[in-house]
Amino acid sequence: LLAHGAAVTAELEPLHLALARSPAGPPRRLFGPEHGYYGVEQDMVASAGGRDPWTGVPLCSLYGDDEGSLRPSPDAFDGLDLLLVDLQDVGSRYYTYAATALWAAEAALAAGVEAWILDRPNPLGGRRVEGNLPLPGHESFVGAFRLPVRHGLTLGELARLEARRRGWDVAGLEVVAMEGWQRWMTWADAGRPWLAPSPNMPTHGTAVVYPGMCLLEATTVSEGRGTTRPFHLVGAPGIDGRRLAEDLNARRLPGVRFLPAFFRPQFQKHAGALCGGVEVVVTEPAAYPSYRAGVELLAALRRLEPERFAWRSEPYEFVADRPAIDLLSGGPTLRRILDAGADETDLAAWVAGWRADEEAFLDQRRAALLYPEDAG
């Protein structure tokens, strides 16, 4: 079983414990993604293996100290006949659970082991897509697949899409589809309690802003980790939050307001320091252009706060030869536009260019959909 803390039954029982009570008995082996099986580790912190304290089942980490740890070892499936995958994705290209799920399924199929993916809702809904497709050669753990940043697929649909693209022998791949979910539904419509799939995804609202605000991970500006409002709070010591908020609000992005804010992160970037910046307040989720909002925020920071803004220079998700912003944005284009001091027209032209990518992807994904586009 590849799962985490958000993998629960309809009765809110952890899946591995529910399986342990079943006639089949507990899983033979547990696999944990980034943040660990129990979701306790921060981002880019290696998770250890061991044994589950409640069942005694061996636990294998798929997020260790190097890139090789992200895929199961050749002997990981010895003695197994089935891999169950139950991971709650959040609908953004960067979120690493999709890569973990599909790489594990691919390894299982190659070992002659069936892979079943237990599908769960896309918290952002299944209709809207947003963003550019990554350029060839810019694949990574935070961009493993050729998708817009906001892709509108469930994990099961993504598996079906990639199986076709990669030519998998799909005889052993099964997606257990949901009952009752429709593409128009966001998490609020699904009627299920939100269980944080990772430490810095505490609410459904966090998932809504994540497609754009995750870009801040590629900078020296805090994305609000170390606070109770990760990805809603953005800033750094010395930033004029009032000026930044006024500049962003003047762009009149639909469904969002930017409030001047102060905050003090307790860990990660600028830990213990008073940061000035903005709070992202989504007023109309259905209208909110989540990825574009993050791009506009980067542009404003680069222009207004050049002494307090810089690109991350440290390795990012095991990649040291390419800037983190290139990995997240799918290539060097955004970085080059902002570094050149381009005006709003240049940035707007790049954003307008997403439409061709979005339309091409909508066409490509159609055959992989499990839930009809016209329902609801």
Per-residue tens of pLDDT for the chain, all 376 residues: 999 999 999 999 999 999 999 998 999 999 999 998 998 988 888 888 899 999 999 999 999 899 889 999 989 999 999 999 999 999 999 999 999 999 999 999 999 999 999 999 999 999 999 999 999 989 999 999 999 999 999 999 999 999 999 988 778 999 999 999 999 999 999 989 999 999 999 999 999 999 999 999 999 999 999 999 999 999 999 999 999 999 999 999 999 999 999 999 999 999 999 999 999 999 999 999 999 999 999 999 999 999 999 999 999 999 999 999 999 999 999 999 999 987 788 899 999 999 999 999 999 999 999 999 865 5
For the record, the structure tokens of 1 come out as 């079983």
Per-residue tokens: 257: 């307001």
> How does pLDDT run across 141-176, given as a tens digit for each residue?
999 999 999 999 999 999 999 999 998 877 899 999
How far apart, in Å, do the first and last CA atoms of the chain sit? 33
Residue 132: per-residue pLDDT: 98
CA distances from 36 to 42, 198, 317 (A): 9, 9, 15
Q: Which of 325, 328, 301, 329 is nearest to 313 (CA)?
A: 325
Angle at the Cα of 3 (from 325 to 33), degrees rounded to 5? 35
The residues facing 311 across adjacent strands are 219
Neighbours of 176 (CB within 10 A): 12
CA distance 310 to 320: 17
pLDDT given for residue 333 in this prediction? 96
CA neighbor of 215 nearest in space, from 142, 307, 129, 128: 142
**Most distant CA pair in the chain: distance in Å?**
64
Dihedral angle of Cα 139, 128, 162, 216, to the nearest 10 degrees: 20
- Helix then strand then coil, in percent of the chain rounded to 5, is 30, 15, 55
Q: Structurally, what CATH architecture does the domain formed by 2-199+363-368 represent?
A: 3-Layer(aba) Sandwich (3.40)
d(CA 248, CA 278): 10
Cβ atoms of 291 and 130 closer than 8 Å = yes
Query: In this predicted structure, what is the pLDDT of residue 375?
Result: 52
- Assigned fold of 204-352: Aspartate Aminotransferase, domain 1 (3.90.1150)
Domain locations in the chain as residue ranges: 2-199+363-368, 204-352
Please give the distance of CA 365 from its chain centroid, rounded to a whole number: 19
CB 94 within 8 A of CB 142: yes
Q: What does the block give as tokens for 218?
A: 């590629």
